[in-house]
A and B are shown apart, each in its own frame.
Chain A
Amino acid sequence: MSAVMITRKVTRKWEKLPGKNTFCCDGRVMMGRQKGVFYLTLFLIVGTCSLFFAFECPYLAVHLSPAIPVFAVLLFVFVMAMLLRTSFSDPGVLPRALPEEANFIEMEIEAANGNVMAGQRPPPRIKNVQINNQIVKLKYCYTCKIFRPPRASHCSICDNCVDRFDHHCPWVGNCVGKRNYRYFYLFTLSLSLLTIYIFAFNIVHVVLRSVDSGFVNTIKETPGTVLEVLVCFFTLWSVVGLTGFHTYLISLNQTTNEDIKGSWSGKNRVQNPYSHKSIIKNCCEVLCSPTYPSVLDRRGVMLEDLSSPTPSDASAASTHQSSNPVSQTTKSSAPLIPNEHTPDEAKPGIGSGTQKSTSSPKEEKPPSPTSPNAVAPAVIKESSH
């Protein structure tokens, strides 16, 4: 054992996660890649509410009721909390398959496909499962090397498979999936209420003041009102419409992704197997089901194999990436048999099969460095028939 104590920063798992997410606060916060529109959302909400508190509330509190600003504050706090919760939480990302699991699935696929004649296209990688008397096709994800669970989909912006994928929302700066859908819905709902509230009281305020001092003077005294009315007017149509749309989806227990693709549109007598056929039960399932934990373990500490430090281990430990771990680990680590369906990005993976021992979780510390290599030539050998 070395007698020299090397103090090095603890590496947490979020630093080694593949995918294009941004992490903050040492892994506590997880967002998508493009955050510009999210800042715009923040600015619009905070800005409009500040104008409301500055211009309308003093007048309305005195002339109508002090409950008006109080309720506005509560609503504002709720909206911000839901927005931040949606934006900063893990939407339900499915971690990529480790090399052994990926190999196992590859061998299953090979066994299921049998011999493919040279020149013939191998069949698409699809598994059929029966859910509630409905055949559902599970597709294989070439990036994550897994068969996607039902309702999961791969987000190209975040480069992750997300469970119960709804959509990637740029306004929120994150994917909307199983874990944060209810926060997203509550955000749109409360934002609709807040917009309607501000809009309504703006009108009330202008009317009340105009009665006293005339319309033009009112606008001169509270110029912020014009801005608020403009923002609220345009926001109303989009946000209220969105809330209505999601309410409709929830009552049918569908995701935006399924709705866009027309998965359960009823043609070929295909019905939604996840719906409970009752609006109340569907709403309960989507909004009141237990909170699912994240399976990513972002803040877990990566244990280094101190007994046999390989050069790659040492470099991984000492060079800890800052918030955006778009590292070379995104590309495949298991040897992948290229076929017609392999997207071009996955093909270079053939050569890079040997790295990635550092990102495997704790108990995966390569017990026999021979095992991935022993399997790799075997798999490639099988393909050349």
Chain B
Amino acid sequence: KETEFMIRSECSLRHSASLANKVFIQRDYTDGTVCKFQTKFPSELESRIERTLFEDTVKTLNNYYAEAEKIGGQSYLEGCLACLTIYLIFLCIETRYEKVLKKISRYIQEQNEKVYAPRGLLITDPIERGMRVIEISVYEDRGSSGSSSGSSTTSSSGR
């Protein structure tokens, strides 16, 4: 499961690194209440990861969420069928949103493995934070300059 992977990777990072900081990517509400995250590159990550990689990740996530929340033929069908069966059908089948959420968690796991963990970063699935933020944990190698409380000095926020 994705969360087991997170714990394992966190443990392995912990052995060689310590949690320095957490960056929170906020929601972008300019298109309304659909789930969409800001693609603005936070300054805390400037030295850790390339801007394009980060933006790709966020844009892909936004596309996934847009796919999940799309109102169209399939959602009407699902809604009508569910209503006719007084919503008992959801005991048997998965909703489209749940299917896309699984895709998202696989994608995040893959991104963590390939892109973020090698750079000492870890992305938390937004669903674990109430779909409010994408939390990126920043790890630093133990024994390097002790800037563990770096969060207090970075007063310029990533807004």
Chain A residues within 8 Å of B, Cβ to Cβ: 77-78, 81-82, 85, 94-95, 97-98, 100-101, 103-105, 107-108, 110-112, 129-132, 136, 138, 146, 149-151, 164, 183, 186, 273-274, 284-285, 287-293, 295, 297, 303, 361-363, 365, 367-368, 370-371, 374-375, 378-379, 382
Contact = CB atoms under 8 A, between A and B. Distances in A.
Given A130-B30, A146-B132, A81 B86 contact: yes
A129 B30 CA distance: 7
B148 A370 contact: yes
Given A131-B29, A375-B151, A291 B159 contact: no
Contacts of B88: 81
Contact of A374 (B30, B71, B152): B152
Given A107-B151, A108-B157, A111-B157, A367 B33 contact: no
Contact of B129 (A98, A103, A149, A371): A98
Nearest to A110: B155
B71 A132 contact: no
A308 to B, nearest CB: 13
B143 to A, nearest CB: 14
A94 B132 contact: yes
Contacts, number: 142
Identify which of B7, B27, B86, B133 gathers the most chain A CB atoms within 10 Å of its CB.
B86
Interface stretch (B47-55, B56-64, B72-80, B113-121): B72-80
A269 B29 CA distance: 21
B155 A288 contact: no
A150 B155 contact: no
B127 to A, nearest CB: 6
A77 B84 CA distance: 12
Contacts of B76: 284, 288
A274 B33 contact: yes
A110 B153 CA distance: 13
Contacts of A297: 128
Given A289-B69, A295-B130, A101 B29 contact: no
27 contacts: A78-B86, A95-B129, A100-B22, A101-B132, A101-B133, A104-B22, A104-B23, A104-B24, A110-B155, A111-B155, A111-B156, A112-B159, A129-B30, A146-B132, A149-B27, A149-B33, A183-B87, A274-B32, A290-B68, A292-B97, A293-B95, A295-B131, A297-B128, A363-B7, A363-B10, A365-B7, A371-B148
A147 to B, nearest CB: 8
A186 B151 contact: no
B45 interface: no
A97 B135 CA distance: 12
A287 B83 CA distance: 10
Contacts of A104: 22-24, 151, 157
A303 B71 CA distance: 37
Which of B33, B80, B130, B149 lies at the interface centre, i.e. has the most chain A CB atoms within 10 A of its CB? B130
A368 B97 contact: no
Contacts of B31: 131-132
Contacts of B124: 363
B146 to A, nearest CB: 10
B90 A107 contact: no
A107 B159 CA distance: 11
Contact of B86 (A82, A291, A368): A82
Contacts of A374: 148-149, 152
Given A98-B129, A363-B6, A293 B97 contact: yes
B3 interface: yes
Nearest to A77: B86
Contacts of B24: 100-101, 104-105
A290 B129 contact: no
Interface string B10-28: 1000100011001110010
B7 A293 contact: no
